Structure formats: C-alpha cells, structure tokens
Chains A and B, each alone.
Chain A
Amino acid sequence: MKYTLSILVENQAGVLSKISGMFSRRGFNIDSLAVGVTNDPTVSRITVVTDCDEHMVEQIEKQLNKVIPVIKVRRLVEGEFISRELSLIKVHCPQAKRFEIIKIAEMNHANVVDVSNSTITLEYCETAEKTETLIDLLKPYGIREMVQTGTVAIDKGKAGIRV
C-alpha cells in the first residue's frame, strides 16, 4: 500500500542526506520525495511517498523521529489530503498533430508551455494517478522527454502538521 508522510525538518545543511540515508540503509523504499521550505524559513517540509505494509510504515515513522533535525512526522490519511505533482512533458508533435494534442491537453487541464515545429511541451499539475492517465494518452504520439517533481501533499480542512 502507498503511504504519504509529511515530515517537518530543521532547514539546515545535510538534513536531506540524513533522511535519505536512513531510508536506504534500513531498506525502506521511497516512491517519491519532495522538499521545500515552509512559511517558517527555519523549517523545511519533506513529503515522502512509500510503498510498504503497515508494520514497515510504522518503523519508518519511528526511525524518522530518531533523526535529530526531524521535528515532526505525520502520516496523511487516505482520502483526507490533497496531493499534487508537477510534470513537464515534451511530446513529439508534427504540425498535423498539434491540434489533436492541444485538445487532449485542454480536456485534462494541462497547459501548453512551449511549441516548436516538431514538439509541444505540456505542463501538468495533478495527482500521481491523473498524471499517469495523461501520460498514457500522450504516449502514442511519442514522449521525447519528461520531468516530474515528487508528490507534495497537504491535509484537507483544519487538520495539519505544525511545529
């Protein structure tokens, strides 16, 4: 099962390596990882998506809490949070296909951010599942290049993680 963890950490050098090192040496897997500063500049927030069982996600949480610069760890509850990942997808696009691809982009609320004689680049900000759907639709045209951020996630409503 996939679990999404929000981790607040002290915004200092070397924290990311402490955390990623802990995952690798204990054999925990990382599906995706995103890190950025929060509204408090001394605190960064890491979002980790991991695919494992309940016992292991508990171990991950406990081991994360042992990393000194980790301030708080929260396991987000399925269905009760918003998650997004940002993708830039460069698709092979001869002029004849341009309209078709733009139509697909519109239907999926993806933005066209660059067009050339032979390519079109879409920007897409959605959940991992929807991104996968869009990629499936674009695959037949030929994806030249693609780049994605890790998933970022936040609780719905009043719930959340604070220092």
Chain B
Amino acid sequence: MITGAEIMVKCLQAEGVDTVFGYPGATICPFYDALYDSDLHHVLVRQEQNAAHAASGYARARMKPGVCVATSGPGATNLITGIATAHMDSIPMIAITGQVRSDLLGSDSFQEADITGACEPFTKHTYLVKQTEDLPRIFKEAFHIAATGRPGPVLIDIPMDIQTNSIESFEYPETVDIKGYKPNIKGHSVQVKKAAELIKNAKRPIIVSGGGVLSSGAKLKLQKFAENTQIPILSTMMGIGVIPSDHPLYLGMLGTHGRRCANKALHETDLAIVCGARLGDRAIAAPDQMGNTTKIIHIDIDPAEIGKNVKVDIPIVGDMNNVLKNLIDEIGDYKVKDEWDAEIKDLKAHYQNKITTFDGYVEPRTLIGNLSSMLKAKAILCADVGQNQIWCANNFRIREGRFFTTGGMGTMGYSIPAAIGAKLGLKKRDVVVVCGDGSFQMGMNELSTIVQENLNIKIIVMRNYRLGMVRELQDHNYNCRHAATILNDVPDIVALAKAYGIDSAEVSSNEDAEQYINKIVESDKPFVLVCRVHPDTPSIL
C-alpha cells in the first residue's frame, strides 16, 4: 500500500524534480512527512509568495518546471501573486497546495480557500484532486501542460484525505492524452515560405525578439538567422539576452522604457519579424497603428497571441526552433540592403547615452554597464521592478548569461527569491540581484533563506529613499505631487543584512562600488551592497 502523499513525492521524482520551494501548514503536512524521507531538497522560504518566485527563478535557470508548495487557505492565497507573475511571464511552474479534507470542502472550514477558483485566471490549468488514484495521471498531465506549448503555471490542489488515503500501488503513466491540448509546434511550411519571400522583398526589416525565444531555447538559432541575414534585432524586456548586448546587430530594448534607437528603428522598419513576443502595451504603446505602415510576420507557439495586439500579415504558429530552422533554410543567402545597414549604424551612433552624474552618489546606469565585465560571462542578473529594472534592462551588457525580471507582471519583491531559485538551479553561475530600496523591503525576509541554504548571492540595493519609478510618474503626470513615494531612512540595510549574518557595506561613489564588487565576486559568501543613488536619477536617459 502507498499513501497519496508518498505518491506525490514519487511523481515529483519521476519528473526529475530535485528541488521544491515551499512553506508547510496543517493540510499539506502529510506531503511534508513523506518529503522528510525522500532525497528531494526542500527549500523553506519565509513567505509563500517567494516560494513561487523562487520556483520561477529555478524554472528559468533550468528550463523546466519549478515546483512550489503551500498549505491551504492563507498559504495558498499568498502563492497567488507568484503564480500570476509566472503566468504573465510564461514560466513553467507546478504549484501544489494542501486543501481541507474532501468532506469539509465548501463548508468554510478553518484555512479553507477556493484556490482553484481563485487561480483560474492566472494559471494554464488547475486541478482539484478528487481521489488518490488520480494523482499520478494529474501530476503527469500538469508537468506536460506546464512545460509544453506556451509555458505557464499549473496548480494542483490536494485535499488532506487524498494525501493520507492509501492505494494498492504506484505506477507513473508514460504518456499523456489530453484531447483538447495538442500544441502545434511544427510551423506551417507554406507560411514559412511566404515569410521568407516577404523578408527578401523588404527594404528595412527588423527582428523583434521576446521571451519566447529564450523559453524555447532558440537563442542561438535566432542569432544565426540574424547573422546570416544581417537583420538587426530589438528585444522586449523578457527577450533581453537573446543576443549579447554588445553584438553589432543588437539595438536594445524597445518600448516606453526602452532605448530610443530601438524605438526609432521600429518606427523606420517596413517589416517587423516578431519572434516569441506578444507585443504588450509596454513594448508598443499604440500597437493598432503599427500594422498600417509596417508589415508584420508574427511567430509564436500561442495562436491566441497572434493578431491579439497587432494586425499581422503572416502568422506562423509553432515552436521557435522549428520555425527558425525552416526560415534559415528557406531564406538562403539573402542579406539586408547596405543602406539599411548603414542607417542602423547611424541610429546606434546618434542615440548614444549621455549620462548626467551626481557627486557623492553612485550613478546606477554606469555601474550596471560595468557590472557585466566584473562577473563571469554566464552570470545571471535578477532585476526587481521599478527604476532598477529599467537601469538593468538598458545598461547591463549581457554576454552568455541570463537576465531574469518580471516584464509581464512587474511584481515588486521578485528579484531576491528568483535569485534563490536561479542559484539553486545553477549552482556554478554567478547570481546577482539588483533591486531598489522599495523592492528590497518586499523581498528581504528571504535573506534568511539565503543564509539557511548557504547561497552565494550578491545583492546590490540602489538606495534613493524613494519609490523611484512611481515618483518619476508623479513628476511627469501628477505635477510633482509625491504622494506616498518617499521612503524614510529605516531600516539601516547594512545593519539589517549583518543581523541576518550577511556581510554588507554602503557606498556613495562608482569607484567604491566597483572596488567592492570586484572584491565580493571572489568570495563564495552572500553580500549586500547598498549604493546611494540620487533621487533625481532618471529611469531612461
């Protein structure tokens, strides 16, 4: 005989899971009891939302579903923000929640919450398990749904009695059969041919690359496609890292907080080849206008994204790897016209950053610009949300590493737990957090987890005593009325970090900051570097 809880552990093992992030509680105790005997590594976070963010960081690092666990009621509802973040950012995730006993369901019993109902809008799918026998099938389906097609979170809500009931034996299914779920990964060959023709006839083509290129692992194919054809690349925020930032074909991030040369190029282009990007409102402010002057080829695994925000001339539904491979074959030795190439070079030269500095403060854009060269080539940078995110997105010179941030949901407090997940996923990589003093205070409880797990994560806090991005918004749109955006000078972050047992220092010049960073990257201990930043430092130029 085997209990439901033991089956849950076996299902995770069958899926090759080695790490789960969670927080226990009464209704998930049977699972934790089974976990206690297993070789699965459980990471105890300090708040459930961070279990989901950590699972997200792990998923992005390992390119497979991250797993988070919470108890029923408040544990489950705390997870929601993390689940919703993963959903908006298309991150594969399995969220497991305990639930009150089946016979108590619907009676408003202690710590009961309708979590499958609540998570419906934020998940790819949800399961409320009705009998122990269903567990293996449901886990198999959940991992399949989370990881294939457009990735996303799947929630499995498991009543306590389902975990404690026993069945005869455990058998993990080898295949899944979900009638209504068969993602089209091939990419229609006729559409690819049409796309190739359109590209060959374009005068000023451009590639707009999104997170889909990274999540499908097609980064190198995209680089090859761009290098073969010499078509310049823009990226969305989620697409940062598809190509090294210093690559001659890369123009930077587009959008409201993007680089001017990138937006200008998008304005000039006559053909945008959109790869794995949904072109949300932050990427293209007035998407319905774009289609009128520019032809668009849109490649995405999710048919519902094609034509949703912009009118598309050639839709191609499929996995980016397959489509790009076929497109490379189809397009042969075509190269973009020299005039466009020259125009792009002019654009890049014309819109060089001119950064104003403030004496006695760290200039964050310059610091982040230099950060990459102080880290190993494959370093992972986790940026939080706000000005720090934009500084990173536009200035971090990514090489072979990754840039993790929440571009879709924009959830403050993401960076520290995501870095924990990333570090546990890829232990040899340099993992660096950049956050503001606002976002730091939304995730700082996880300093405990960093210490408990003995993780070498460096945290750079850009401290301006402001909620900088909202304050900037107030400057521009609300007549400089800074309602609720001024933070006071507590806590003393250096003292706080030390209270957690993490070494820390505060700096107020780039020289000092760089000196510290060069020193701390050599150590295998975590570090919190607080950088004093002038409150008037803008997000973009």
Check if A and B associate.
yes
Which A residues are closer than 8 A to B by beta carbons?
9-10, 13-14, 17-18, 21, 25, 55, 58-59, 62-63, 65-72, 163
Q: How far is the CA of A21 from the CA of B125 in the complex (A)?
A: 13
Residue contacts A-B, CB under 8 angstroms, 10 given: A9-B180, A13-B128, A13-B130, A17-B120, A59-B307, A62-B304, A63-B304, A66-B304, A68-B178, A68-B181
Instruction: Enumerate B113-132 residues with CB–CB distance to A below 8 Å.
Output: 116-117, 120-121, 124-125, 128, 130
Residues of A within 8 A of B437 (CB): none
The answer to whether residues A68 and B120 also contact, given A10-B179, A10-B180, A59-B304 and a CB cut-off of 8 A, is no
Asked whether A71 lies within 8 Å of B303 as measured between CB atoms, the reply is no
A118 CB to nearest B CB, Å? 42
* Nearest neighbor of B311 in chain A, beta-carbon distance: A55
The answer to whether residues A65 and B121 also contact, given A9-B180, A10-B180, A71-B180 and a CB cut-off of 8 A, is no
The contact string, 1 if C-beta is below 8 Å from chain A, for chain B 127-152, is: 01010000000000000010000000
B161 at the binding interface (Cβ < 8 Å): no
B302 at the binding interface (Cβ < 8 Å): yes
A6 CB to nearest B CB, Å? 14
Q: How far is the CA of A59 from the CA of B305 in the complex (A)?
A: 9
Asked whether A68 lies within 8 Å of B128 as measured between CB atoms, the reply is no
Q: How far is the CA of A14 from the CA of B155 in the complex (A)?
A: 14
The answer to whether residues A68 and B124 also contact, given A10-B179, A17-B117, A163-B179 and a CB cut-off of 8 A, is yes
Instruction: Enumerate B294-311 residues with CB–CB distance to A below 8 Å.
Output: 302-304, 307-308
Which residue in A10, A17, A68 is a CB contact (below 8 Å) of B145? A68
Residues of B within 8 A of A62 (CB): 303-304, 308
B188 CB to nearest A CB, Å? 16
* Nearest neighbor of A43 in chain B, beta-carbon distance: B179
Which B residues are closer than 8 A to A by beta carbons?
116-117, 120-121, 124-125, 128, 130, 145, 178-181, 302-304, 307-308
Query: Beyond A65-B304, A68-B124: 4 further Cβ-contacts under 8 Å?
Result: A17-B117, A59-B304, A69-B180, A163-B179
Residues of B within 8 A of A14 (CB): 116, 128
A21 CB to nearest B CB, Å? 5
Q: How far is the CA of A68 from the CA of B138 in the complex (A)?
A: 13
A54 CB to nearest B CB, Å? 11
Most chain A Cβ neighbours within 10 Å, of B124, B179, B302, B308: B179
Q: How far is the CA of A62 from the CA of B317 in the complex (A)?
A: 12
The 8 closest A-B pairs by CB, nearest first: A62-B304, A71-B180, A68-B125, A71-B179, A70-B180, A68-B181, A25-B121, A21-B120
Residues of A within 8 A of B304 (CB): 59, 62-63, 65-66
Residues of A within 8 A of B302 (CB): 66
Residues of A within 8 A of B130 (CB): 13
Q: How far is the CA of A10 from the CA of B121 in the complex (A)?
A: 19
Residues of B within 8 A of A13 (CB): 128, 130
A75 CB to nearest B CB, Å? 15
Q: How far is the CA of A18 from the CA of B179 in the complex (A)?
A: 16
A128 CB to nearest B CB, Å? 28
Residues of B within 8 A of A66 (CB): 302, 304
Most chain A Cβ neighbours within 10 Å, of B116, B130, B304: B304
A13 CB to nearest B CB, Å? 8
Q: How far is the CA of A57 from the CA of B120 in the complex (A)?
A: 22
Q: How far is the CA of A72 from the CA of B180 in the complex (A)?
A: 7
* Nearest neighbor of A66 in chain B, beta-carbon distance: B304
Q: How far is the CA of A69 from the CA of B124 in the complex (A)?
A: 11
Q: How far is the CA of A158 from the CA of B124 in the complex (A)?
A: 35
Most chain A Cβ neighbours within 10 Å, of B120, B130, B180: B180
Residues of B within 8 A of A163 (CB): 179
Q: How far is the CA of A163 from the CA of B307 in the complex (A)?
A: 27
Residues of B within 8 A of A55 (CB): 307
Asked whether A65 lies within 8 Å of B124 as measured between CB atoms, the reply is no
B208 CB to nearest A CB, Å? 21
A12 CB to nearest B CB, Å? 10
Residues of A within 8 A of B117 (CB): 17
Asked whether A21 lies within 8 Å of B121 as measured between CB atoms, the reply is yes
A26 CB to nearest B CB, Å? 9
Residues of A within 8 A of B116 (CB): 14
A24 CB to nearest B CB, Å? 10
A66 CB to nearest B CB, Å? 6
Q: How far is the CA of A33 from the CA of B308 in the complex (A)?
A: 24
Q: How far is the CA of A21 from the CA of B303 in the complex (A)?
A: 20
Q: How far is the CA of A61 from the CA of B307 in the complex (A)?
A: 12
Most chain A Cβ neighbours within 10 Å, of B117, B120, B302: B120
Q: How far is the CA of A70 from the CA of B117 in the complex (A)?
A: 17
Q: How far is the CA of A59 from the CA of B303 in the complex (A)?
A: 10
Residues of B within 8 A of A71 (CB): 179-180
Residues of B within 8 A of A18 (CB): 120
* Nearest neighbor of A18 in chain B, beta-carbon distance: B120
* Nearest neighbor of A42 in chain B, beta-carbon distance: B179
Residues of A within 8 A of B179 (CB): 10, 71, 163
* Nearest neighbor of B116 in chain A, beta-carbon distance: A14
Q: How far is the CA of A18 from the CA of B119 in the complex (A)?
A: 11
B254 CB to nearest A CB, Å? 24
Q: How far is the CA of A72 from the CA of B128 in the complex (A)?
A: 23
Most chain B Cβ neighbours within 10 Å, of A58, A68, A71: A68
Q: How far is the CA of A52 from the CA of B528 in the complex (A)?
A: 54
Residues of A within 8 A of B145 (CB): 68
Q: How far is the CA of A18 from the CA of B128 in the complex (A)?
A: 13
Residues of A within 8 A of B128 (CB): 13-14
A90 CB to nearest B CB, Å? 34
Q: How far is the CA of A17 from the CA of B117 in the complex (A)?
A: 9
Most chain A Cβ neighbours within 10 Å, of B130, B145, B303: B303
Q: How far is the CA of A73 from the CA of B539 in the complex (A)?
A: 45
Asked whether B308 lies within 8 Å of A59 as measured between CB atoms, the reply is yes
